[in-house]
Structure 1
Amino acid sequence: MKRDFVQLADQYFDVLICGGGIYGAWTAYDAALRGLKVAIIDQGDWASGTSSASTKLIHGGLRYLESLDFKLVKKALREREMLKKVAPHRVWSLRFGIPVFKDSRLNSIRLKVGLMLYDFLAGALGSDQVHRHFSRDAFAERFPCLNPTLLTGGFTYADAQTDDARLVLELIDGALSAGAVCVNYCKVTGFIENKGQVCGAKVQDKVDGKTAAVYARQIVNTIGQWTAESGCRLTKGVHLILPKALGNEALLLTAKADGRVFFMIPWYGLTLLGTTDTDYSGDVDQVCVEADEVDYLLTEANRVLEVNWTEADIIGRYAGLRVLKQSSKTTPSAVSRDWELKVADNGLLTSIGGKITSAREDAAQIVNMLCENLGISEPCKTNGRPFPWLPDQDYQLWSKAAVAEAVTLGIDKESAQWLIWRHAKRVSMIFQLIEQDAALARRITPSLPFILADLVFCAGNEMVVHLEDLLRRRIPLLILAKMTQSELRSLAEMTATTLGWDETALNNEFVMCVKKNMNCEQSGSIFF
């Protein structure tokens, strides 16, 4: 993946997509596969907004059944099942437990009915994906992190998990391979119109400051939280990274304070706790985790856990914004997560709302409209299509062989499995790096399943511009590890040559990365 701003300058495209999150990435990939001449840009890094701040789930949304949003749930479940088949390295099964306590808002009967409906909508009846009920003792044994005092039993059900930032990155790479021009850190400074219709954009390269005009027959706005629409409602979601508390299954819990659902999820060997859901009206460029949000999540988790987590246990934290359709609903959680496409008087198409799970199907509708407007008759090419990095052979057999090869190269088995999920068939290029330097098989930090060769490969092959791109989205070290500034500096120095940084550029990158992660204070302090 190579970044080339020159490919945009004074060029004519069928479609220019502004915004490189999950919706922009799917739109670019689908449009390029249908033969359109496509450009996609983002003012920041790929997935640097909401699309790297999700709960890392590909799911139907069990809680939406309570609000009778059957259409949305069925749509998401259909996409979940398809994605598991075409991208087993990117979307993998994850089973959830739902504990039932004496004071639970939903009793066992209501949960049973809801889970039966969820299985039916997913087409899981009669399969090993169907939900199961457990007695108090059996559920406590399955989830020993739970306080069994008030427990009366529990259920498990099937959903799926992903690494959201890498999902977007793989789709961007797929769009590139299909002929699209993809440039991150490229800002729109204004639209170009002809006879009242948008026909291009003035853009600026945020790396060197150069400007250009890009012309397109259609322009799609997929900028998420930066959408200047009066018909939008922004809500904020906060997640915390905490020590390992689960095995290979997650928990769906209900907050006593407000009755909303939140999750505890195993992620890269740690625990992802979240999310909150509150209205947001602040600066979309400065979305921070607030003390009351931390207190909310820790209080609700500690209410049902054997451990008593404190703020000192928090390893990392992040916040993101959801873009929802305007609604009169009082609570954000009651607002539909469904998606819509708005068409402005000047022809600009704007994507509003949606979910990471169902983004592919929504993007297909965007491209359908593009094709109709351009007089092109081409069906969607992404439904059921194997992902760009999926190996050609049987995935399970290939994966088993790849893990075995990784172990012979000195990679520990846990890191090998994550390496394969992260890179799939491209893992062979990482193996080649280790064959040249065996030291690259070591973990970056002992507690996390990331190896040095992964870091080096990402730096050289994944359109990294800034240090934060590498350490937050390519490899999420900034939220998964407590790092000192000296450790951070060491990683920057290790990849500086690959990224073309001299001493001045390296220092600037280091300082900028520290400033953007406000928990970093003085040299030698803990870096979140």
Structure 2
Amino acid sequence: MISATALDPEQRARNLDRLASEHFDVLVVGAGVNGSGAALDAVTRGLKVGLVEARDFAAGTSSRSSKLFHGGLRYLEQFDFHLVFEALKERKLALEKLCPHLAKPVRFLYPLRKPGIDRAYAGLGIGVYDVMGAGRGVPSRLRHLGRKKTLAAFPSGDRDALYGSITFYEGQVDDARHTMMIARTAANYGAVVASSARVTGFIRQNDRVTGVHLRDLESGRELDVSADVVINACGVWIDEIQTMVGGKGAFRVRASKGIHLIVPRNRINSSLGLITRTEKSLLFIIPWGQGSAGSGGFWLIGTTDTDWNLDLAHPAASEADIDYLLGHANALLSDKLSRDDVVGVYAGLRPLLAGESDSTSKLSREHAVASPVRGLVVVAGGKYTTYRIMAADAVDAAVHGLNKTVPPSCTEDVLLLGADGYHGLWNTRGQLAESLGLPLGQVERLLGRYGSLIGELGTLIAERPELAEPLEAAPEYLKVEALYAATHEGALHLDDILARRTRISIETWDRGVGVAPEVAELVAPVLGWDAAAIEREVDHYRARVAAERESQHQPDDLSADAARLGAPDVRMGRSGG
């Protein structure tokens, strides 16, 4: 089994020292999927690379998506065949090669509600989509089902609302873990990575950017980082970062809010996920997670697509957002959902290239790369599935200004940590379960989160057998997973562990409040927390959950935003990038 560079606090401290004392070919600002992807792309071309992030890996948009690798079915209606085909190629790469431990195919049902018209119209669009995606990471072609077979696959469907369906496949991924694993893979190739490191300004020599001023949000330390080229991959914060440089940016980004709900799997009886149209976007009802024995789990319901111009760090889901999703889901269901069925809620912001349309759903999901100032490259727009293409384009633009020969992107052949050896471990998972002393279902779940890095968890369990026990208030997760988040995966705060390394914050009825003290005690020795720090972390997490719950009872965005801001950020200062 594989071992890799551990992103622990000691490594982070060494990396900050290196950022302050060494010169870099490329410094990437923002460790969402695009920034982490750019760091991996650059370092595997032989460049000396730094990657800094103001909060946590994937703390923004990249942990709050619909968690799909998909081609973008609705983009066919905009005749954006290039974007669809490009995304389908990336879906195949993710599912079959780059991260098969993190990405899985999921079968979806597209319900038909009007006889004749729906089947012809939807069948044509999905048929074109299916032909374009044939053989691209999914195990089967589309199927047309009548009402009887539709209801057999989807017993919870409203018989009066459904006349049939079309089924096809997409890919699913835990976006936060995937993004973190990209950053960790970049570190394994030599990138110098630091989270909780906020850019406060740019260093200029004449008309060229030559680095950044950085603040370590954990200690307050100020440092300067020198680089030939800085890549701004800050998503919805791109305009804010461009303002630090001065002058007008090459393009504008608009933030579109998308919210998602988590409900228990037993509330909807269906063997497939569902995708349907709404007046504004697509509605997804996606199977999400499972228990250690292969049971349980949830449905992820999303998404909205509305303009947002309030707080970027903590977008809030309002009561109106939640009711909108429940209403559209209930239009398909015989047993209606209520707010009491909602276990978790999360909201994210899509960074869209601003256009003339008033509707964010019509703004471009295409990406753009520009160099508004010498020494600075900006990448914006795009969609999660095509992050690798965006990253390569950004690095192409960055190396254009370097006085050296740089090879082309090779990330199409760079496996993420955990992928190498995964299939062999999956095939021998029975023996692996026996050697680790864990139930088979638990090992299958761990392989889907860590792949061939599962051996690193096994080493921790061998040293401390009690780590194989489940967390008391979140028993679908083991104690070792919480500890490993701090010892290997760069987690610095309870938020990082409960919201991104695990999904406890949206998969438990109390949203992780009950497990917070137990996790804090587990990781305290690694993160250097004394009793006061443990209490501070737990209090902050409780305040965060309370503020989120309060925001979700507010009628509109303005009041929801005000309620969410009632809980201050756990890191020193509040900003993106």
Please give the per-residue CA displacement for 1:66-97, whole angstroms capped at 9, x wherever unaligned: 12111110010011111112121121111111
The residue aligned with 2:229 is 218
In structure 2, how many angstroms separate the alpha carbons of the residues matched to 1:154 and 1:32? 46
Return closer, same or farther for 1:130/1:241 CA change in 2, 3 Å cut-off.
same
CA contact (8 A) 1:254 1:261 kept: yes
Return closer, same or farther for 1:313/1:103 CA change in 2, 3 Å cut-off.
farther
Q: How many residues align?
A: 517
CA contact (8 A) 1:403 1:417 kept: no
Secondary structure (helix, strand or coil) at the match of 2:423 reads: helix
CA RMSD in angstroms comes to: 2.2
The residue aligned with 1:24 is 35
Secondary structure (helix, strand or coil) at the match of 1:387 reads: coil
The residue aligned with 1:240 is 261
Return closer, same or farther for 1:283/1:125 CA change in 2, 3 Å cut-off.
closer
In structure 1, how many angstroms separate the alpha carbons of the residues matched to 2:439 and 2:109? 29
The residue aligned with 2:413 is 384
The residue aligned with 2:55 is 44
Secondary structure (helix, strand or coil) at the match of 1:130 reads: coil
Secondary structure (helix, strand or coil) at the match of 2:163 reads: strand
Return closer, same or farther for 1:55/1:448 CA change in 2, 3 Å cut-off.
farther
Residue 397 (str. 1) matches residue 424 (str. 2): yes
Shift of 1:315: 0.7
Shift of 1:459: 2.3
CA contact (8 A) 1:242 1:271 kept: yes
The residue aligned with 2:104 is 92
TM-score, normalising length: structure 1: 0.93
Residue 475 (str. 1) matches residue 484 (str. 2): no
In structure 1, how many angstroms separate the alpha carbons of the residues matched to 2:435 and 2:224? 51
Deviating more after overlay: 300-309 vs 242-251: 242-251
TM-score, normalising length: structure 2: 0.85
Residue 303 (str. 1) matches residue 312 (str. 2): no
- 5 Å-filtered alignment, 1:309-324, equals 309-324=337-352
In structure 2, how many angstroms separate the alpha carbons of the residues matched to 1:248 and 1:501? 45
Shift of 1:496: 1.6
- 5 Å-filtered alignment, 1:133-282, equals 133-228=144-239, 231-244=252-265, 245=268, 249-255=272-278, 258=279, 260-268=281-289, 269-282=297-310
Please give the per-residue CA displacement for 1:462-506, whole angstroms capped at 9, x wherever unaligned: 111111111111111011112374432222122222322111111
In structure 2, how many angstroms separate the alpha carbons of the residues matched to 1:497 and 1:329? 52
Unaligned runs of 5+ in 2: 1-6, 240-248, 290-296, 551-577
Shift of 1:171: 0.9
Shift of 1:403: 5.0
CA contact (8 A) 1:409 1:438 kept: no
CA contact (8 A) 1:205 1:211 kept: yes
- 5 Å-filtered alignment, 1:424-503, equals 424-444=451-471, 449-483=476-510, 485-503=513-531
The letter for the 1-side match of 2:105 is S
Return closer, same or farther for 1:280/1:103 CA change in 2, 3 Å cut-off.
farther
In structure 2, how many angstroms separate the alpha carbons of the residues matched to 1:447 and 1:306? 31
Residue 422 (str. 1) matches residue 422 (str. 2): no
CA contact (8 A) 2:212 2:225 kept: yes
Secondary structure (helix, strand or coil) at the match of 2:94 reads: helix
Secondary structure (helix, strand or coil) at the match of 1:35 reads: coil
Return closer, same or farther for 1:407/1:243 CA change in 2, 3 Å cut-off.
farther
Deviating more after overlay: 19-28 vs 236-245: 236-245
Please give the per-residue CA displacement for 1:36-87, whole angstroms capped at 9, x wherever unaligned: 1100101100100000000000000111111211111001001111111212
The residue aligned with 1:526 is none
Unaligned runs of 5+ in 1: 523-528
Deviating more after overlay: 445-454 vs 280-289: 445-454
Return closer, same or farther for 1:489/1:157 CA change in 2, 3 Å cut-off.
same
Deviating more after overlay: 324-333 vs 41-50: 324-333
Residue 76 (str. 1) matches residue 105 (str. 2): no
Shift of 1:207: 0.4
In structure 2, how many angstroms separate the alpha carbons of the residues matched to 1:369 and 1:79? 21
Shift of 1:285: 2.5
The residue aligned with 1:355 is 383
In structure 2, how many angstroms separate the alpha carbons of the residues matched to 1:126 and 1:427? 24
CA contact (8 A) 2:26 2:50 kept: yes
- 5 Å-filtered alignment, 1:277-288, equals 277-288=305-316
Secondary structure (helix, strand or coil) at the match of 2:56 reads: coil
Selected match of 1:369 from 383, 388, 397: 397
Shift of 1:139: 1.1
Please give the per-residue CA displacement for 1:194-220, whole angstroms capped at 9, x wherever unaligned: 011110111010000011110100001
Q: Which has the higher contact order (CA 8 A, sep 6+)?
A: 2
Q: Percent identity?
A: 32
Shift of 1:521: 8.3
The letter for the 1-side match of 2:416 is F
In structure 2, how many angstroms separate the alpha carbons of the residues matched to 1:195 and 1:413? 62
In structure 1, how many angstroms separate the alpha carbons of the residues matched to 2:139 and 2:329? 29
Return closer, same or farther for 1:128/1:476 CA change in 2, 3 Å cut-off.
closer
Shift of 1:344: 0.8
CA contact (8 A) 1:27 1:366 kept: yes
CA contact (8 A) 1:237 1:276 kept: yes
In structure 2, how many angstroms separate the alpha carbons of the residues matched to 1:407 and 1:33? 37
In structure 1, how many angstroms separate the alpha carbons of the residues matched to 2:469 and 2:334? 34
Deviating more after overlay: 437-446 vs 209-218: 437-446
Shift of 1:177: 1.1
CA contact (8 A) 1:338 1:354 kept: yes
Please give the per-residue CA displacement for 1:85-118, whole angstroms capped at 9, x wherever unaligned: 21211211111111111389x6101121112211
